[in-house]
A = this chain, B = another copy of it.
């Protein structure tokens, strides 16, 4: 079988994750070119994974006729432009989240995808997690009955620097965006209204920078179910990632993953492993799986598992949450979507 030729734009942390997935886990694809505005990064990735060509200009990838698909792993403000250029050049695109910080650009990206007929997958890797994925399956297959309540806990082990927080667009779009997508994935439908609370309890400098580090957002889904997400930028005990779906026939809930199942009983108590430290440990298998399914969608000409609608709605919810926090009132999704 001919291997799919992949180009990677952006050789940072997530670019390397996808490079490893393709190299070690996906026999049907190979990376043929990588670019990064910082050339040493592109070179390092190329050498580590045996990529034959590297450079600084993503247009070299867009214009490379041998390339079938592009992974857009560059900084957020460039996601949409690169994705659009690649699709117009006939390439399939895997684009990291968020697609863009503006609704307009995301809608434009969607339009180009529709016009060109190219595959466009958004990088919501958590949908491919063994725990969350199982909960979603039980919700979707009717095991839980009519879905009534959805709860998501998502807490990072360590806070970002205040500088990062200030430049990130804020917690709702930088961190909770994953949870907004997860909520709609679990519910099987969109959200119609949000109410956001947020405060700065972890690091006062984050608050001074205009952001929050501790937040609760409630959701009303299109299907009438209610939801709640809580986020913290810091835990003492690792990366806390739990979801719960409650329905008329039952509840499915995932616990955190530890490194082992060992329990140690001593005079101090019965001690189990902490949650795995952070997303590279916790979600590595999901990064591999999302890439496998992206490649399979191309090879078998199927729908991608995470399309541009998810990319759009997650940003809409983040914006609605920010507006809710600022205006101290519940905000309808239509206020953002139709603005």
Q: Give A120-153 as 1s and 0s: 1 = Cβ < 8 Å from B's Cβ atoms.
A: 0000000000110011001000010110110101
In the complex, which residues of chain B have a beta carbon less than 8 angstroms from the beta carbon of A248?
Answer: 201-202, 234, 236
A309 is an interface residue with CB less than 8 A from chain B: no
A contacts with B: majority SS = mixed
Q: Which of B224, B267, B271 contacts A236 (CB 8 A)?
A: B267
Residues B249 and A253 in contact, CB atoms below 8 Å apart: no
Bound-state CA distance A240–B253 (Å) is 13
What are 20 pairs between A and B in contact, CB < 8 Å?
Answer: A24-B24, A131-B260, A134-B260, A143-B266, A149-B214, A155-B246, A195-B218, A228-B228, A235-B265, A236-B248, A237-B267, A249-B267, A250-B264, A252-B265, A255-B261, A268-B271, A269-B271, A270-B274, A329-B329, A329-B330
Q: For the complex formed, measure the closest distance between the CB of A138 and the CB atoms of chain B, giving whole angstroms.
A: 6
In the complex, which residues of chain B have a beta carbon less than 8 angstroms from the beta carbon of A274?
Answer: 265, 267, 269-270
Q: For the complex formed, measure the closest distance between the CB of A301 and the CB atoms of chain B, giving whole angstroms.
A: 26
Task: Identify the closest chain B residue to A269 (Cβ).
Answer: B271
A5 is an interface residue with CB less than 8 A from chain B: no
A216 is an interface residue with CB less than 8 A from chain B: yes
